Amino acid sequence: MDLQICTELDDPQQMLPPPPGTFVDRDELIQHAGDFAVSQGYVVTIKQSKRDRVVILGCDRGGVYRNRQKHMDESSSEHSRRKKTGSRLTNCPFEAVGKKDDGLWVLTIKNGTHNHEPLKDISEHPSARRFSEREVLLIKEMTESGLKPRQILKRLRQSNPDLLSTPKHVYNVKAKLRQGNVAVRNFKSLSKQKSFVRNNYSAVTEPSWRQCNPQRVPNLIGGRFVDSQSFTSIDVLNPATQQVVSQVPLTTNEEFKAAVFSAKRAFPLWRNTPITTRQRIMFKFQELIRRDIDKLAMCITSEHGKALKDAYGDVLRGLEVVEHACGLAMLQMGEFVSNVTNGVDSFSIREPLGVCAGICPFDFPAMIPLWMFPIAVTCGNTFILKPSEKDPGASVMLAELATEAGLPNGVLNIVHGTDDILNAISDDDDIKAISFVGPNAAGAYIYSRALGTGKRIQSNVGAKNHAVVLPDASMDATLNALVAAGFGAAGQKCMALSTVVFVGGISLWEDKLVERAKALKVNAGTEPDVDLGPVISKQAKEQICRLIQTGVESGAKLVLDGRNIVVPGYERGNFIGPTILSDVTADMECYKEEIFGPVLLCMQADSIEEAINIVNKNKYGNGASIFTTSGVAARKFQTEIEVGQVGINVPISVPSPFSLFTSSRPSFAGDLSFDGKVGLQFYTQIKTVTQQWKDLPE
């Protein structure tokens, strides 16, 4: 919370009002006032709320309200006026006012004086005692059984004679239960030894967003997972069954501003946190990911559709980046030059940028978020993550683990949405850098829009990766690589080998390639021994089938057709079997566009020079591989090919995080890419300091 420094008073008995400040939401404002009151020896209660935009907090010393008794001899209007006044103020004149302003809550002190001594024991106050988790559940059960509040209290006191709650408190709990909110944090005691748990999301039994059916995916703002106030949401469907897994709300503009404010507020303290402390959080984070890897993989499979073994690989590749982040202290070291001139030293240091943002695609729900925020926050930045609206569950689970690992409130925030959120991230002046991975059109749009506002940006977009196969290549090893890289994860990955150029003709390879593709098992990702799961959506399936058909109509030979595959038990799934098109030429739409499905395009070339020319003319430049036993040919290929990543007898794969993920030409926009040293450089800026110290004259 953004607090102003308050001056300590000389009188030790003088109680202080809570420091004014700005807060993400109403709950955080009330929590701040309540926790501060505990330290001062008084209890804050809510006195008034108007349409949830204004809240007046007062000091309730003993629950005695002024003017509460009805005077029979006064007029009706006078009685109404006195009743309104009496219901608003207690016997202590202290008042603090919280008002919602432009999406945030601002606390000001209207009257900060108290007319009583501090309470010696805050637990003695009638309003301080609330209900435990078990008691809340008992209240729910007894209410459903028809018991009245006084009867409920009588039964609760049988097991807890020290219970100080009143029927009014039971009514409040019942109101929460009617709203479907049984979060225990709303009923916790304001005692010093317990107040800290309200910052810990794990202390809440079941937050409201988990109680919905289907579950609503929460935002993460200021360290708390909160259900969006948006009435609009997108269904997340299981691609194998079409069942609704969850709903993604379209985050409101106010909620987005609150997330940015939360990240901006957390930055000064986080940037000054020692790098070793940040690293220790990453060590704990990677330990928790390993602990919950089964849950993460299952979540990915249910939302994305990829086979469980691919989902595990997704998490493990991201985990490597977290492990890399554990050693960033060495990479963040600057340089020092002593005595560059007489008595003058010069040194450079790397400093974080501030608030950064990440926009993720659907193809790697765990790996790509882990590409981004672990490096960013370990460098000292705060982060706003926008997961794909098609499979956001893994990002939320990773954020829960990061919070459990000790990441402070506000350092990592999550918002959901589509175009409006992308525009807001691109336009917000407080966001200094954006990492983007996704489709071409969105990447180009965000790059130009964010660049216009002076942001640093790295944008990795579409790909059409090639494999060049020479006649001398090892038959079995090459076929295994082509099938795995071409059809793995149903071809839904930016590093898939979607096009194969056979130098010298395809006749020796075609039959065996079809035979191995037919051997792949297509089924739901949760089934045992499955090789290919469904594609992400019906729209994606329709687009893939359309591109296959345009290839056939343009003269390509349909060697293997997987469009009409039916998976028993999953007839409604978005399944496409392995598909192979041969005799593909560079002018066909299926070659020019990114298919992003289990489709392998086969082309032919008379020489390695012609094959290299085909690859270099394609508008995408992610990566290319060559399969050969000739070192001379391999060297020629790696020298002349114009792509970011080159494989020699291996398919294109995401490199280890301590090396560099590179793309070229339209597949990447920006000066600094992901991973390795440049990944660190993207999230930091260099500051050069020149200093001179002279002795003072005598």
* Model confidence, pTM: 0.81
Q: What one-character-per-residue DSSP string does 486-528 give?
A: HHGGGG-STT-EEEEEEET-STTTHHHHHHHHHTSPB--TTST
Per-residue pLDDT reduced to its tens digit, 179-233: 665 554 433 334 443 333 333 333 334 555 566 678 899 999 999 999 998 889 9
Residue tagged 């390879």 (tokens): 509
pLDDT band for 553, please (50, 70, 90 cuts): very high
Which tokens go with 596?
A: 């992003």
For the segment 226-248, the average pLDDT, to the nearest whole number, is: 93
Residue tagged 């006078």 (tokens): 78
pLDDT band for 90, please (50, 70, 90 cuts): very low
Looking at per-residue confidence, does 467 or 10 come out higher?
467
Per-residue pLDDT reduced to its tens digit, 346-404: 988 889 999 999 999 999 999 999 999 999 999 999 999 999 999 999 999 999 999 99
Contacts of 97 (CB under 8 A, 6+ apart): 54, 55, 56, 57, 107, 108, 109, 110
Strand order in the sheet with 344-352: 335-341, 344-352, 684-692
Tell me the CA distances in angstroms from 340 to 30, 333, 337, 512, one per residue in order: 55, 20, 6, 67
State CA 474 to chain mean position distance. Answer: 43
Looking at per-residue confidence, does 144 or 601 come out higher?
601
Q: Give residue 657's pLDDT.
A: 63
**Hey, how many other C-beta atoms are within 10 angstroms of the C-beta on 506?**
20
Counted residue by residue, the chain has a size of 698
Q: Give residue 600's pLDDT.
A: 96
Contact, 561 vs 582, CB < 8 A? Answer: no
Buried b (16+ CB within 10 A) or exposed e, 608-623: beebbebbeebebbbb
Which tokens go with 424?
A: 């807001």
Pick the closest to residue 595 from 615, 610, 572, 576 (CA basis).
576
Alpha helices in 619-690 (DSSP H): 631-640, 676-682
Q: Give residue 196's pLDDT.
A: 33
Tell me the CA distances in angstroms from 271 to 169, 398, 450, one per residue in order: 42, 22, 24
Q: Give residue 653's pLDDT.
A: 67
For the segment 592-612, the average pLDDT, to the nearest whole number, is: 94
Q: Give residue 251's pLDDT.
A: 94
Rounded distance between C-alpha atoms, residue 677 and residue 330, angstroms: 11
Which tokens go with 503?
A: 């130098």
Pick the closest to residue 484 from 471, 501, 470, 467 (CA basis).
467
Tell me the CA distances in angstroms from 611 to 412, 436, 509, 591, 636, one per residue in order: 46, 31, 17, 15, 12
H or E element, residue 30: helix 26-40
Q: Give residue 282's pLDDT.
A: 95
Give percent above pLDDT 70 in the chain: 82
Q: What one-character-per-residue DSSP string does 314-375 give?
A: HHHHHHHHHHHHTTHHHHT--EEEEEEETTEEEEEEEEE-SEEEEE--SS-TTHHHHHHHHH
Contact, 307 vs 533, CB < 8 A? Answer: yes
Is residue 659 pLDDT above 80, yes or no?
no
For the segment 315-331, the average pLDDT, to the nearest whole number, is: 89
Alpha helices in 565-617 (DSSP H): 589-592, 608-617
Which tokens go with 489?
A: 């994860």
Angle at 568 between CA 562 and CA 570, to 5 degrees: 85
Rounded distance between C-alpha atoms, residue 104 and residue 255, angstroms: 9
- Which residues are marked as active site? 494
Buried b (16+ CB within 10 A) or exposed e, 205-243: eebbbeeeeebbbbbbbbbbbbbbebeebbebbbbbbbe
Q: What one-character-per-residue DSSP string does 384-444 give?
A: EEE--TTS-HHHHHHHHHHHHHTPPTTTEEE---SHHHHHHHHH-TTEEEEEEES-HHHHH
Q: Is 177 helix (H, G, I), strand (E, B) or coil?
A: helix
Contact, 374 vs 454, CB < 8 A? Answer: no
Pick the closest to residue 576 from 552, 560, 590 (CA basis).
560
**Hey, how many other C-beta atoms are within 10 angstroms of the C-beta on 607?**
11
Rounded distance between C-alpha atoms, residue 376 and residue 368, angstroms: 13
Rounded distance between C-alpha atoms, residue 473 and residue 628, angstroms: 4
Which tokens go with 170?
A: 């039971």
Residue tagged 């390993």 (tokens): 290
Rounded distance between C-alpha atoms, residue 368 and residue 315, angstroms: 9
Q: Give residue 531's pLDDT.
A: 93
Residue tagged 């200021």 (tokens): 222
Looking at per-residue confidence, does 205 or 133 come out higher?
133
How high does pLDDT run on average in the chain?
A: 84
Strand order in the sheet with 215-216: 215-216, 244-249, 233-237
Pick the closest to residue 392 from 240, 235, 208 (CA basis).
235
Pick the closest to residue 424 from 600, 260, 560 (CA basis).
260
Q: Give residue 181's pLDDT.
A: 57
Q: Which of 42-56, 97-111, 282-296 has the lowest mean pLDDT?
A: 42-56
Strand order in the sheet with 412-414: 224-226, 219-221, 412-414, 382-386, 355-359, 431-437, 456-460, 668-669
Rounded distance between C-alpha atoms, residue 319 and residue 394, angstroms: 13
Per-residue pLDDT reduced to its tens digit, 34-77: 888 878 888 777 776 766 678 888 887 644 444 444 444 555 55
